[in-house]
Amino acid sequence: MASETFKVAVLPGDGIGPEVMAEALKVLDAIEKKYDVQFERRHANVGGAGIDLEGKALPQTTIDICKAADAILFGSVGGPKWESLPPDEQPERGALLPLRKIFGLFCNLRPAIIFPALTGSSTLKESVIEGGFNLLVVRELTGGIYFAEPKGIETVDGVRRGFDTMLYTEPEIERITRVAFDIARKRASKVCSIDKANVLSTSVLWRQVVERVAKEYPDVALSHMYVDNAAMQLVRWPKQFDVLLCGNMFGDIISDEAAMLTGSLGMLPSASLAEGSFGMYEPSGGSAPDIAGQGIANPIAQILSASMMLRYSFGMQQAADAVDAAVEKVLDQGYRTGDIYQGTSGETRVNTVEMGDAIVAAL
Ligand code: NAI
Ligand code: MG
């Protein structure tokens, strides 16, 4: 018997989801062999698979399995088959939003990593990203302008107007700030807090709270940046960043920008964390219906999602580092799935299973 056991709810979903999930599970098998740990896995249907097999994108049995777990490993959901359903019943809206709500997933982690071997796939000049970069956007996910009331469209004196409310409470800011600083300690110990404190009151408060919390982390370097400048700095010199701390809307935009700099969606994991250690881990991309069923999808985003699960929910830094290093090694060795294959010498084109096998071998 392993000395530690973690319960993982495995939700492969649709399209390439099950294909890449199988590879991530192989990596978990390898981690079990290498470390004194056991992952108790329970599979559940979600998204289109949930609709087809149990009548709902997020069936109650799936919710129960997730509630009994220490973390959720999620594939991806959606596809043309379910696109004619009413919006709230569709795979993505019907599963992801309720999961965020049920589990209080207030913190979204989106790393943007460019591995040294893949700098050619970025839209940025080689000289800017030489040697790769690794930054992490920490985005507040359940507050801010996307959720605050009042919001709406109304007519006043014959003129239509739309309005939203930007609102953050001090506890909301403090909670996400602590996550960012705790994570920075496990990385390069730098936090850049993104706001618009020259214009927005929420940002003035944001900055005050971040400053106060930062005093408890003297070992972490804090800087502040206006969001417009941050958008610019990301394309100018991404290597200056370690952790970027953002409210909901700024984080939405900045994380998409950062992801695109890497040039390969099939490589990027993400995590959504609740208070405590519970989290949901999934690739940044979708179910890729255009390549589903062909066995050619890149499993790295799913494998790195499993690595984030080890790091953030299970406290297994060493194992997570080992998975990340194994991914970097196979890329250095030239293994490429179609999405990252550039046809240069030294590259070996592989399919989903071969990429998974290579990563397990490197482990
Ligand atoms: P997508 O991310 O599925 O695909 C965009 C492009 O990236 C496609 O060309 C796809 O082949 C490629 N790609 C994505 N992941 C890849 C991987 N691992 N390996 C190789 N290539 C990969 O986004 P799209 O096409 O906008 O959406 C497709 C479906 O996925 C839709 O039904 C959408 O609703 C759903 N979706 C689900 C998400 C989730 O489950 N969290 C997130 C985004 C979209
Ligand atoms: Mg977005």
Q: What is the pLDDT of residue 262?
A: 84
62-87 per-position pLDDT tens digit: 999 999 999 999 999 999 999 999 98
- 120 among annotated binding-site residues: no
Active site residues: 146, 196, 228, 252, 256
Within-domain flag for 116: no
Q: What is the pLDDT of residue 241?
A: 97
Asked if residue 75 has its Cβ within 6 Å of ligand 1, the reply is: no
Q: How far is CA 317 from CA 75, 166, 309, 313, 322, in A?
A: 22, 36, 10, 10, 9
Q: What is the pLDDT of residue 1?
A: 63
Within-domain flag for 297: yes
Q: What is the pLDDT of residue 24?
A: 98
- Mean pLDDT calculated for residue range 265-278: 92
Asked if residue 17 has its Cβ within 6 Å of ligand 1, the reply is: no
Cis peptide before 150 (omega within 30 of 0): yes
Which atom from ligand 1 is nearest to the alpha carbon of 283?
41
Q: What is the pLDDT of residue 16?
A: 98
Q: Are residues 321 and 234 in the same domain?
A: no
Rounded CA-CA distance 361/363 in Å is 5
**Taking a C-beta distance cutoff of 8 angstroms, is the pair 320, 311 a contact?**
yes
> Domain of 280?
1-110+265-363
Within-domain flag for 7: yes
Nearest to 46 by CA among 30, 66, 31, 26: 66
Mutate to test the pocket of ligand 1, among 85, 92, 359 (most ligand atoms within 8 A of CB): 92
- 236 among annotated binding-site residues: no
Within-domain flag for 115: no
276-317 per-position pLDDT tens digit: 999 999 999 899 999 999 999 999 999 999 999 999 999 999
How much distance in Å is there from the Cα of 255 to the middle of ligand 2?
Answer: 7
Among 232, 247, 262, give the residue marking a domain's end: 262
Among 262, 286, 308, give the residue marking a domain's end: 262
**Taking a C-beta distance cutoff of 8 angstroms, is the pair 153, 162 a contact?**
yes
Q: Are residues 282 and 303 in the same domain?
A: yes
| Residue 126 pLDDT > 90 | no
| Residue 52 pLDDT > 90 | yes
Asked if residue 247 has its Cβ within 6 Å of ligand 1, the reply is: no
- 88 among annotated binding-site residues: yes
For position 87, which CATH number holds?
Answer: 3.40.718.10
Asked if residue 288 has its Cβ within 6 Å of ligand 1, the reply is: yes
Within-domain flag for 37: yes
Q: What is the pLDDT of residue 264?
A: 76
Which atom from ligand 1 is nearest to the alpha carbon of 20?
18
Q: Are residues 249 and 130 in the same domain?
A: yes
How much distance in Å is there from the Cα of 139 to the middle of ligand 2?
Answer: 11
Total number of domains constituting the chain: 2
How much distance in Å is there from the Cα of 74 to the middle of ligand 1?
Answer: 14
**Taking a C-beta distance cutoff of 8 angstroms, is the pair 267, 226 a contact?**
no
| Residue 119 pLDDT > 90 | no
Q: Are residues 60 and 138 in the same domain?
A: no
Q: Is the dihedral of CA 228, 233, 235, 240 positive or negative?
A: negative
Among 213, 240, 262, give the residue marking a domain's end: 262
Q: Are residues 129 and 257 in the same domain?
A: yes
pLDDT grade for 117, boundaries at 50, 70 and 90: confident
Q: What is the mean pLDDT of the chain?
A: 95
- Mean pLDDT calculated for residue range 252-276: 89
Comparison of pLDDT for 100 and 6, the residue scoring more: 6
**Taking a C-beta distance cutoff of 8 angstroms, is the pair 195, 247 a contact?**
yes
Asked if residue 80 has its Cβ within 6 Å of ligand 1, the reply is: no
Q: What is the pLDDT of residue 155?
A: 98
Asked if residue 298 has its Cβ within 6 Å of ligand 1, the reply is: yes
Nearest to 273 by CA among 73, 63, 105: 105
- 287 among annotated binding-site residues: yes
| Residue 140 pLDDT > 90 | yes
Within-domain flag for 59: yes
- 331 among annotated binding-site residues: no
Q: How far is CA 267 from CA 122, 134, 237, 282, 324, in A?
A: 12, 12, 21, 11, 12
Q: What is the pLDDT of residue 353?
A: 98
The residue whose C-alpha atom lies closest to atom 33 belonging to ligand 1 is: 78
173-226 per-position pLDDT tens digit: 999 999 999 999 989 999 999 999 999 999 999 999 999 999 999 999 999 999
Q: Are residues 247 and 297 in the same domain?
A: no
**Taking a C-beta distance cutoff of 8 angstroms, is the pair 266, 301 a contact?**
yes
Asked if residue 297 has its Cβ within 6 Å of ligand 1, the reply is: yes
Which atom from ligand 1 is nearest to the alpha carbon of 338?
20
Q: Which residues contact 118 (CB under 8 A, 6 or more apart)?
A: 132, 262, 263, 264, 267, 331, 340
